Amino acid sequence: MNLIKKLALAGCLTCAAFTSIAQKKYDVQSPDKKLKVQVTIADSIYYEVWKDGKAIISRSAIYFKTDQNTEGWKVNKVNQASNSGMLRPVIWQKSSTVEDNYNNLNLVFANQLSMEWRVFNNGLAWRWVSKINKPYHVTDEQATLNLGADAKAWYPQEEQFFSHNERKYIPYKVGEIDQQKLASLPALFESKGIKVLLTEASLFNYAGMWLRGDGNGTIRSTFPHYPKEKRYEGDRDEKVVSRENYIAKVNGAQDFPWRILMVEKEDKKLLNNQLPYLLGKPQATGSDFSWVKPGKVQWDWWHYNNVYDVPFRAGINNDTYKYYIDFAANNGIEYVLLDEGWCDTQDLNKQAKDIDVEELAKYAQRKNVDILLWTSWLVLDKQLDEALPRFEKWGIKGIKVDFMQRDDQDMVNYYEKVAKAAAKHHLMVDFHGAYKPTGWSRTYPNIMTSEGVLGNEISKFANTVTPEHTLTIPFIRMAAGPMDFTPGGMLNVQKGSFSAQPAEPMTLGTRCNQMAMYVMYESPLQMLCDIPTHYIKEPECMQFLKAVPTVWQRTVPLEGKVSEYAVIARQAKNGNWFIGGMTNWTARDMEVSLGFLPNGEYTMHVWKDGPNADRNAKDFQMQTIGVNKNSKINLKMSTGGGYVAIISKK
């Protein structure tokens, strides 16, 4: 070996030794020891993830930079701990209690930043924490997932940051996702047969995280930077014309959002994963939300107030809304929503000529029904301090705030401002034209639901809300939190019979498919979207819709495959169990065990697809049988079909 080769080899060995010494590795695993994360501190920070010994995320870089912290990642302190606890949500969603068990790793750096990791049995999360005690800008954050080019993705692709976030989940190989393919959250991936769902929680005073790919198997975060110049367009849109060179401006020490990776071997378990709630910021000590009341809502806008078989001219007027209120009172529906049209979209003080909200609120209260009001976010922002006290005085119980269409730091702060102000005046909130939920219902339990989903309203105009789509969103979008999909369409059709009818909309799939959404989809304020006239003509269906609650004591996923089928059982507060089953365009015969039932004998009332539902999607049958925990039931679902049942103790 010549001298040059010897020197080169010696140099390589020295570099390798130096690199080995410089790198520090820290392991943290789940309580059941089946999920492991290794964090490596070197020139940057990297992490890897193993599930049951299989590497599902290869070495992936993460990074956080402000204009105040110095370069380098010298670790000053390492803290490790475990937590075993139980949370009791003010407003139930999936359950009345949520186990909060995890192992924790906290790396404290010399640059006034620290990184906290939590590893649960069903996922992991990390967040950055700053102890910088003066104003600064966050100039960059990077979170990557090196999944490999052949990993699968269900990717909510977007055109731009200005968006309602109402997307289809496009199937890709991760290697097909390049820098041009922007996506919002949540997004789902599959690595080596393991589902990995990426979302975030505790998003306050910061920008929402979005995604792009590198075309080689790695997904990377990207963020809408802070708005520099904005422009109003029309009565509801505020668009960003130019942006600053930073993500967020911060006044001091702050905990930044959790980056969450749900990790599940079975698709169905995504239906019961509650990491966004567990990682949501706890509500303020001493705050009282005992006044918040979940319930069903009769909605108007989906059918443009097109009631019929009535002795008055239907429309945006008190006569029509009194009809809605009477219908709600007769069917145990807690709320009626006055959507767009009750007031001038640029002035909440100017009611429509045939509307008197205060009179309607009093009329409703006499019948044990309450009123919710829609508003554009823009006019509410201008009139917040005068409008909310007036709504409270009238007896209004909640607001639907619409058309935000952004999640830069400026807009994220608007959401919190509204939630706080609404709570002060005992008003619930439904965010529309909104980004995904981020565990905010733990922080502000008056935030009941939100859109950020391609929901039933699109059925007014197009045939894109298909059974494949409605069986994708419970595994992905709903994993982030409640979604205001607005189910309940009664004009049900198969794919060849659909046409867009905005004032009397159709829905794709069977009647029982729509009914099953009331069990499958979580929303503490759950809409009935259709014309009351239609419901009145369907008393058998109303038996179910009257009985189904909007919050649950316990949830048991029974079967599920993303975009194909799902069956779920949920227990109501009164102890009754509800089963909801849905299939895509493939008809299915499925056997399901009732082993989740306690001991005893039960009566099960069933609504199932009729024998002709493949031709006439409104066809359904009812059945009553006796069951117990040893029973196995057959769910025969038509193309685009569904199944619902109520199980009560004999």
Q: Does residue 2 register a pLDDT over 50?
A: no
Strand 428-431 versus strand 398-402 pairing type? parallel
- Summarised one tens digit per residue, pLDDT across range 390-410 is 999 999 999 999 999 999 999
455 phi and psi, to 5 degrees?
Answer: -110, -170
Over range 42-64, report the average pLDDT: 97
pLDDT of 279 over the 50 cut: yes
pLDDT at 62 over 80: yes
Q: Looking at residue 173, what is its pLDDT?
A: 99
Q: What is the largest CA-CA distance in the chain?
A: 104
Q: What percent of the chain has pLDDT over 90?
A: 96
Instruction: List, in sequence order, every beta strand (DSSP E) within 395-485.
Output: 398-402, 428-431, 447-450
CA proximity to 148, closest of 60, 212, 223, 221: 60
Read off the pLDDT of each residue in 64-85 and give the average, rounded to a whole number: 93
pLDDT in tens, 475-524: 999 999 999 999 999 999 999 999 999 999 999 999 999 999 999 999 99
Give the residue from 115, 143, 144, 135 showing the smallest Cα distance to 66: 135
Classify residue 616 by burial, with Cβ atoms within 10 Å: 0-12, 13-18, 19+.
middle
User: Per-residue pLDDT for 19 more than 50?
Assistant: no
585-617, pLDDT tens digit by residue?
A: 999 999 999 999 999 999 999 999 999 999 999
Structure tokens at 328: 């709600």
**In whole angstroms, what is the distance from residue 202 CA to residue 481 CA?**
12
9-27 average pLDDT score: 53
Residue-wise pLDDT for 575-593, tens only, equals 999 999 999 999 999 999 9
Question: Exposed, middle or buried by CB within 10 Å (0-12, 13-18, 19+), for 107?
Answer: buried
- The pLDDT-based confidence of 72 (bands split at 50, 70, 90) is confident
Residue 16 pLDDT level (bands cut at 50, 70, 90): very low
pLDDT of residue 71 exceeding 80, the answer is no
Per-residue pLDDT for 8 more than 60?
Answer: no
3-state SS assignment for residue 377? helix
Q: Are 183 and 477 in contact (CB under 8 A)?
A: no
Cα 591 from chain centroid? 29
Region 166-176: mean pLDDT is 99
SS3 102: strand
Beta bridge partners of 191: 194
Output 243 or 18, whichever has higher pLDDT: 243
159 vs 14: CA distance, rounded Å = 48
Residues 195-205, mean pLDDT to the nearest whole number: 99
Classified as helix, coil or strand, 140 is: strand
457 tagged catalytic: yes
Three-state secondary-structure class, residue 418: helix
Distance in angstroms (rounded) separating the CA atoms of residues 541 and 562: 27
CA gap 58, 624 in Å, rounded? 52
Q: Does residue 110 contact residue 136 with C-beta atoms inside 8 Å?
A: no
Q: What is the pLDDT of residue 10?
A: 35
Beta strand 182-183 with 157-158 is antiparallel
Give, as one character, the DSSP assignment of residue 280.
Answer: S
What percent of the chain has a predicted confidence (pLDDT) above 70? 97
- Give 350's pLDDT tier (boundaries 50, 70, 90): very high
Q: ∠447-453-459 over CA atoms, to 5°?
A: 125
Going along the chain from its start, the domains and CATH numbers come out as 24-278 (2.70.98.10), 454-519+551-650 (3.20.20.70)
* Per annotation, catalytic residue among 402, 408, 559, 564: 402
Overall size of the chain counted in residues: 650
DSSP class of residue 454? Answer: -
Distance CA 455, CA 505 (A): 13
**What are the residues facing 554 on neighbouring strands?**
571
Per DSSP bridges, beta strands 507-508 and 492-493 are: parallel
| Mean pLDDT value of segment 552-580 | 99
Q: Identify the DSSP state of 206.
A: S
* C-alpha–C-alpha distance, residues 253 and 376, integer Å: 33
421, two tokens: 């102000």
Residue 67 is among the residues annotated as catalytic for this protein = no
DSSP 3-state of 282: coil
For range 101-122, the mean pLDDT = 98
Q: What angle do CA 518, 457, 508 make, to 5 degrees?
A: 70
Residues 6+ apart with CB under 8 A from 472: 154, 168, 169, 562, 563
So what's the pLDDT on residue 69?
A: 76
Q: Which of 116, 267, 457, 484 is catalytic?
A: 457
**pTM for this entry:** 0.96
The conformation of residue 412, written as its DSSP 8-state character, comes to H
Measuring CA to CA, which residue among 508, 513, 506 is closest to residue 534?
506
> 310 pLDDT exceeds 90?
yes
Residue type (1 letter), 80:
Q
pLDDT of 14 strictly over 70: no
Cα 357 → chain centroid? 31
How confident is the model over 307-331, as a mean pLDDT? 99
Tokens for 6, please give them. Answer: 């010897």
465 token code pair: 């809300």
- pLDDT of 20 > 90? The answer is no
According to the model, what pLDDT value does residue 37 have? 99
pLDDT above 60 for 1: no
Axis crossing angle, helix 377-394 with helix 409-424, rounded to the nearest 10: 10
Distance between first and last Cα of the chain? 89
* Whether residue 153 has pLDDT greater than 50: yes
Mean pLDDT score of the chain: 96
128 residue type, one letter: W
- The pLDDT score that the predictor gives to residue 408 is 99
Q: Six-digit token pair at 132? A: 């910088």
